Amino acid sequence: MSYAESILVIEDDERIREIVVSALRDVARVVRGVATASDALASIRAEPPGLVVLDLGLPDADGGDTCRRIRELSGAPIVVLSARHQEAEKVALLNAGADDYVAKPFSLPEFVARVLAQLRRANMYGSGRPERLALGDLVIDLDRRTAARAGEPIRLTPVEWNLLRVLAAQPGRTFTHQQLFHAAWGKTYGDAQQHLRVHITHLRRKIERNPADPELIVTEPGVGYRCEAPPTGGHVSDP
């Protein structure tokens, strides 16, 4: 069974491209590989992929620019591969529209798991907006703007609600401090990281089983936060 119709792998190193393409053979029906940004953009225009794997070190274009240009053409998840490990670069890429970031050298099983997580998220939330989201026994009703754990209502402030709504709508996606700050307050000013830390702490006290060891809202150090869906979580299709 394949999880996606097609995946595009953009990587100029032929050996790595072949390894990545063959690792994804069971994931998508078609896995295409290209070596340059210009071939990638042409390929995306001709045949929109269900997911893009983007190597940042391409011979013909800057990685961040390529990411932005792909995002303009396609809503498909973008998983970035990079030889660099700087948090600042990761933040810039997530802000440019990437969905996940895998540093080289990477373990192939972990890479495939990250790709599958992005495809699950895209399939779950890509077509139309669900009314309710479930993270384990936490249920978030997007229309009523309420959250409940095991049937017990949880009272959230508007800022906490906005943070939870944005994070929970895309489990597995890391949001940068700036992206979350913008989602919660609608603008960007001051020290986003510090403001967020305070509100995330309050939110965790309300929704986590153990706020000191959060399982639902996970910190990505120096980058931001992401929501982890427990295995039983997902899209509640019917009330």
39 contacts Ca ion (rule: CB under 5 A):
no
CA distance 213 to 209: 8
Chosen residue from 2, 23, 39, 57 binding Ca ion by CB under 5 A:
57
Cα dihedral across residues 51, 94, 81, 13: positive or negative? positive
Stretch that binds Ca ion, among 50-58, 140-148, 213-221, 225-233 (CB under 5 A): 50-58
CB of 166 to Ca ion, least distance (A): 32
**Residue 59 or 186 having the CB closest to Ca ion:** 59
Tokens of 113: 């798991």
**Residue 104 or 120 having the CB closest to Ca ion:** 104
Residue nearest to Ca ion (CB): 57
**Residue 55 or 99 having the CB closest to Ca ion:** 55
At 224 the three-state DSSP class reads strand
At 219 the three-state DSSP class reads strand
Residue pair 163/226 in contact (Cβ under 8 Å)? The answer is no
* CA 151 distance to own-chain centroid: 28
Chosen residue from 27, 33, 40, 55 binding Ca ion by CB under 5 A:
55
Distances (CA, A) of 37 to 8, 52, 58, 67: 12, 12, 7, 9
CB of 63 to Ca ion, least distance (A): 9
- Residues forming contacts to Ca ion in the complex (CB under 5 A) are 12, 55, 57
